[in-house]
């Protein structure tokens, strides 16, 4: 015989979660990064994993160009990690290059925090 789960502690948590609304200004600023740049970084990671160094470098280069041309300011640390990933891939240090791309993806996927 199964014991029924008490829903009483869950109800306030669901109400609290439903009341959360993110600041639309933060989402608007985050949305200005080129989505294709994010796709290029993700694809570069897959290409490195599949040992396709040339294709990975092309994807990283495309992402660097898109982010460099972006109207939204891009963190120098993010651009540096992306350039480092390219350098590491050219040196055949694929695990380190993948780690650098993971750092780039984390920086691109997290919401931009407002400063007000």
Residues 57 and 48: beta-carbon distance below 8 Å:
no
Measured N-to-C along each axis, helices 94-109 and 76-90 cross at an angle, to the nearest 10 degrees, of 160
Q: What pLDDT was estimated at residue 7?
A: 54
pLDDT at 8 over 80: no
pTM for the full predicted model? 0.68
Q: What pLDDT was estimated at residue 89?
A: 95
Domain ranges of the chain: 30-109
Model confidence over 19-67: pLDDT tens digits? Answer: 545 555 544 445 578 999 999 999 999 999 999 999 999 999 999 999 9
Model confidence over 69-78: pLDDT tens digits? Answer: 998 888 899 9
CB atoms inside a 10 Å sphere around CB 73? 10
Domain 30-109 adopts which CATH fold?
A: 1.20.120
Q: What pLDDT was estimated at residue 83?
A: 96
């Amino acid at each position: 015989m199964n014991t029924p789960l008490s829903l009483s502690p869950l109800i306030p948590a669901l109400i609290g979660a439903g009341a959360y609304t993110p600041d639309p200004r933060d989402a608007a600023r985050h949305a200005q990064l080129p989505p294709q740049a994010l796709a290029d970084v993700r694809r570069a990671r897959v290409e490195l994993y599949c040992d396709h160094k040339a294709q990975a470098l092309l994807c990283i280069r495309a992402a660097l160009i898109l982010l460099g041309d972006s109207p939204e300011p891009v963190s120098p640390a993010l651009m540096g990690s992306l350039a480092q990933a390219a350098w590491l891939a050219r040196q055949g240090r694929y695990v380190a290059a993948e780690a650098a791309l993971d750092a780039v993806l984390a920086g691109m996927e997290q919401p931009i925090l407002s400063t007000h």
